[in-house]
Amino acid sequence: MSPNKNTMVLLRGYLALAWKTIRGSLLVFSLALLLTACGTVEPNIGEEEVEPDPAGETEPTPAPTVPPAIPEQRLLSLEWPSVIRQGDSDLVILTLQMDEEGRITPTAKYSGHETYGEKVEIPNLYETHNVMAEARLDLAGVVVRPGEITSMTLLPGKTVTFTWSVQPDQPNTYRGAVWFYLRFIPKDGSPDYQHLVSTQPIEIQCVNFLGLSGTMARLIGGVGALFGSVISIDTIAGWGWKLYKKKFSPSQLLEKG
């Protein structure tokens, strides 16, 4: 083989190797470009994220705090008869009123009645609830009217009064209790709930006079008072003097002699 032919063979080998290298580089570059194009996401202008400005960032304004409602200061007073004549009836009175003067001992409305008072706090929920005052009197062996629990609407600053008529049947000592509740009825329709505020014991003694009922004793007393108003002391003394003179007159003494 001549030198020229050897040179041509070597040159062709170099050219083939160079072409393979260039072709491989082009292939790698094309693949890289294709992958880059597939992984690129077009930006959405409508959802462009805006970075907050640290300098203009402010704390949210807290909601105003509503101050708690101040409870009402009230006086709960109980009045009842300590003694009742057999056959008579009397009243038991429970009153819830504003305690503006800070009193503890209430004043009895009726003579001969016992009284008891205590300070109570009423939750101020009138804006969100309908408030009901409820009370009942338990007194076994005594006719009580009304016998069931009684309810009244409680309004801000207003007084409520519960009254029961009691009538014992037999002479005895009767013990019982007065129960006072508050019922809160939410205005939003939620279930209502009852709260026991106070329980006060009471004692009533039923008596009679010489086995007579109160009505009979008053009748006899009235007749006696009428008799006494018509017949004076002077009249009775005159009758006595006339009887004395008649019994000890001289004629009577002579007859006996």
pLDDT at residue number 6: 63
Distance CA 28, CA 39 (A): 17
pLDDT at residue number 22: 73
pLDDT at residue number 70: 74
Strand order in the sheet with 113-122: 113-122, 72-81, 90-98, 160-168, 142-145
DSSP class of residue 123 equals -
pLDDT at residue number 233: 62
pLDDT at residue number 132: 98
Between CA 150 and CA 193, with CA 115 as vertex, the angle to 5 degrees is: 30
Per-residue pLDDT of the chain in tens (257 residues, 90 and over written 9): 555 566 666 667 667 776 677 776 766 666 655 555 454 444 444 444 545 555 555 555 554 444 456 789 999 999 999 999 999 999 999 999 997 766 666 888 888 899 999 999 999 999 999 999 999 999 999 999 999 999 999 999 999 999 999 999 999 999 999 999 999 999 999 999 999 999 999 999 999 876 454 455 556 556 555 555 656 566 666 666 677 666 666 665 556 55
* Contact assessment for residue 145 and residue 165, using Cβ atoms and an 8 Å cutoff: yes
Between CA 170 and CA 182, with CA 176 as vertex, the angle to 5 degrees is: 140
**The domain 72-207 is classified under which CATH number: 1.10.3720.10, 3.40.50.720, 2.60.40.10, 1.10.150.110?**
2.60.40.10
Structure pTM?
0.58
Residue 151 neighbours by CB under 8 Å, 6+ apart: 132, 133, 134, 183
